[in-house]
């Protein structure tokens, strides 16, 4: 399974591609950051994010795209740009028919460190260890994108089982009920 | 000047095309709503918004796109979807090299009714009058999109003068200063 993780942002959009399956060592395929100038017009920044994401999709052909789920509660000043950059990433994937999964920051932290409240350094350290890298990827947005991809690979089997159960229940509504 | 106004939203994205210049009667070229099903996946909804906006751009070839500026303060529950739909509209315009302008809801209300705190009915009534329509466009999102386009046509001369002044000042920084 090859997953592109996207840590959305207008100034720095982290991107990381990880390959592997749950329960086996994972491989980093690529990592980077799509940057857009803070003084550019918003529509041009969104266009630059799109062009960056398209390049990553063209080059690495992921089967899944995992994007951080953005909440409106925290960090009000930057949350709109983050939401808009995430929309561009989702749109690029959907246009190619690539399934998109959203994971919350605490799901990602819990997946790679065991704690939903881990700090950036801890996430960076675990990403480095899990992907057997020489040093933590910089900046933190790049490490977070890899963490998202890892989270998706590890959560995917559970999500797929859940989706299958829902599909089965929808097709045969009486199955799964207590008689 | 032909302007596509976009009142962004995932469930209902209002779109309206108005043609004219400030100080002359305006003409409505088209009005409608791009809808996406609330139970669809977010990435698919964004894709449907993109396809809808692309159709409007293809059909009406606007020279400007005016989008409502989304604030994170109000209506926390729906603001993320609104921000993401607005990102899609801005992206579609930027890809075609069409200039994008953002106007706040109060700027739009003030432009068409004279008051930044006008209600929906008042905006609808003025849009109907200014465009000489038989009845207010429904739903309100469609009327709001037309109001955005009208606002842009009326504010554009001032904005252009401002941009020219900024450009002049940047080129000749001493001009405009008191000697």
Q: Quick one: how far is CA B13 from the chain centroid?
A: 11
Q: What is the mean pLDDT of residues B33-37?
A: 97
Q: What is the mean pLDDT of residues A127-155?
A: 96
Q: Identify all chain A residues contacting B88, using CB atoms and an 8 Å cutoff.
A: 87, 91
Q: What is the mean pLDDT of residues B71-95?
A: 86
Find the closest chain A residue to B101 by CA distance.
Answer: A43
Q: Contact, B9 vs B85, CB < 8 A?
A: yes
**Closest-CA distance of chain B to residue A80, Å:** 6
User: Does residue A28 sit in helix, strand or coil?
Assistant: strand
Note whether A43 contacts B100, CB cutoff 8 Å. yes
Note whether A84 contacts B79, CB cutoff 8 Å. no
Percent of chain B with pLDDT over 70: 84
Q: What's the pLDDT score for residue A164?
A: 57
At A26-49, the pLDDT tens digits run 999 999 999 999 999 999 999 999
Flag the least confident range among A40-49, B52-61, B96-105, B169-178: B169-178
Instruction: Assess whether pLDDT exceeds 50 at residue A57.
Output: yes
Nearest-angstrom CA–CA distance, A43 and B99: 8
Q: What's the pLDDT score for residue A25?
A: 94
Nearest-angstrom CA–CA distance, A176 and A168: 9
Q: What is the mean pLDDT of residues A117-125?
A: 95
- Beta strand residue intervals within chain B, DSSP E: 2-7, 12-19, 27-35, 64-68, 100-103
Closest CA to A53 of A65, A41, A38, A70: A65
Q: Identify all chain A residues contacting B47, using CB atoms and an 8 Å cutoff.
A: 91, 94-95
Domain ranges of chain B: 2-171
Q: What is the mean pLDDT of residues B96-112?
A: 96
Pairing of strands B12-19, B27-35: antiparallel
User: How deeply is A85 buried, as exposed, middle or buried, from its count of CB atoms within 10 A (0-12, 13-18, 19+)?
Assistant: buried
10 Å Cβ neighbour count for A50? Answer: 21
Q: What is the mean pLDDT of residues B52-58?
A: 98
Instruction: Assess whether pLDDT exceeds 90 at residue B98.
Output: yes
Instruction: Assess whether pLDDT exceeds 70 at residue B178.
Output: no
Q: Tell me which residue has tokens 């947005």.
A: A141
User: Residues 6 or more apart from B20 whose CB is under 8 A from it?
Assistant: B1, B26, B27, B153
Nearest-angstrom CA–CA distance, A33 and A60: 15
Helices assigned H by DSSP within chain A = 42-60, 76-95, 105-113, 120-130, 140-171
At B140-157, the pLDDT tens digits run 999 999 999 999 999 876
pLDDT band at B176 (very low <50, low <70, confident <90, very high): very low
Instruction: Assess whether pLDDT exceeds 80 at residue B179.
Output: no
**Distances from the Cα of B158 to the Cαs of B97, B127, B148, B164, B165, in angstroms?**
22, 21, 16, 10, 11
List the strands of the sheet with B27-35, edge to edge. Answer: B27-35, B12-19, B2-7, B64-68, B100-103
Note whether B43 contacts A73, CB cutoff 8 Å. no
Q: What's the pLDDT score for residue A174?
A: 46
Between positions 37 and 96 of A, the ones with CB within 8 A of B are 41-44, 46-47, 50, 70-73, 76, 79-80, 83-88, 90-91, 93-95
Nearest-angstrom CA–CA distance, B126 and B104: 18
**Closest-CA distance of chain A to residue B179, Å:** 30
Note whether A83 contacts B88, CB cutoff 8 Å. no
Between positions 115 and 144 of A, the ones with CB within 8 A of B are none
pLDDT band at B162 (very low <50, low <70, confident <90, very high): low
Nearest-angstrom CA–CA distance, A35 and A26: 27
Instruction: Assess whether pLDDT exceeds 50 at residue B177.
Output: no
**Closest-CA distance of chain B to residue A76, Å:** 6
Q: What is the mean pLDDT of chain B?
A: 89
Q: What is the mean pLDDT of residues A75-86?
A: 84
Closest CA to B39 of B10, B14, B13: B10
Instruction: Assess whether pLDDT exceeds 90 at residue A74.
Output: no
**CATH architecture label of A2-171:** 2-Layer Sandwich (3.30)
Nearest-angstrom CA–CA distance, A60 and A58: 6
Nearest-angstrom CA–CA distance, B25 and B17: 14
Note whether A94 contacts B46, CB cutoff 8 Å. yes
Find the closest chain A residue to B44 by CA distance.
Answer: A94
CA atoms within 13 A on the CB side of A115: 8
Q: What is the mean pLDDT of residues B85-113?
A: 97
Q: What is the mean pLDDT of residues B60-67?
A: 98
Q: What's the pLDDT score for residue B105?
A: 94
Instruction: Assess whether pLDDT exceeds 80 at residue B61.
Output: yes
pLDDT band at A70 (very low <50, low <70, confident <90, very high): confident
Structure tokens at A68: 């951080």
Q: What's the pLDDT score for residue B39?
A: 96
Q: Tell me which residue has tokens 């999709």.
A: A57
Q: What is the mean pLDDT of chain A?
A: 89
Nearest 5°: CA angle at A51, between A48 and A55? 140
Q: What is the mean pLDDT of residues B108-115?
A: 96
Instruction: Assess whether pLDDT exceeds 60 at residue B130.
Output: yes
Nearest-angstrom CA–CA distance, A31 and A29: 7
Instruction: Assess whether pLDDT exceeds 90 at residue A166.
Output: no
Q: Tell me which residue has tokens 């209002």.
A: B14
- Cite the active site residues of A: 7, 68, 141
- Cite the active site residues of B: 7, 68, 141
Nearest-angstrom CA–CA distance, B179 and B171: 17
How many A-B residue pairs are in contact by the CB < 8 A criterion?
Answer: 73
Note whether B90 contacts A46, CB cutoff 8 Å. yes
Q: What's the pLDDT score for residue B16?
A: 98
Q: Contact, B98 vs A95, CB < 8 A?
A: no
Note whether A50 contacts B91, CB cutoff 8 Å. yes
Q: What's the pLDDT score for residue A78?
A: 76
ipTM of the prediction: 0.84
Q: Contact, A3 vs A129, CB < 8 A?
A: no
- Gyration radius of chain A's alpha carbons: 17
Q: Identify all chain B residues contacting A42, using CB atoms and an 8 Å cutoff.
A: 90, 100, 102
């Amino acid at each position: 399974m090859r997953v592109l993780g996207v840590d959305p942002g207008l100034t720095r959009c982290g991107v990381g591609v990880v390959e592997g399956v749950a329960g086996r060592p994972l491989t980093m395929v690529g990592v980077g950051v799509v940057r857009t100038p803070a003084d550019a017009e918003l529509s041009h920044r969104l266009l630059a994010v799109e062009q960056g994401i398209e390049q990553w999709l063209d080059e690495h052909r992921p089967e899944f795209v995992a994007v951080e789920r953005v909440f409106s509660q925290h960090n009000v000043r930057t949350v709109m740009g983050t939401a808009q950059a995430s929309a561009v990433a989702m749109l690029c994937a959907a246009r190619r028919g690539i399934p998109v999964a959203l994971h919350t920051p605490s799901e990602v932290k819990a997946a790679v460190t065991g704690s939903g409240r881990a700090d950036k350094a801890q996430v960076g350290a675990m990403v480095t260890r899990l992907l057997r890298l020489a040093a933590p990827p910089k900046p933190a947005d790049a490490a977070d994108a890899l963490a998202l991809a890892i989270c998706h690979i590890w959560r995917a089997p559970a999500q797929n089982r859940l989706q299958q159960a829902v599909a089965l229940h929808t097709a045969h509504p009486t199955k799964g009920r207590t008689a």
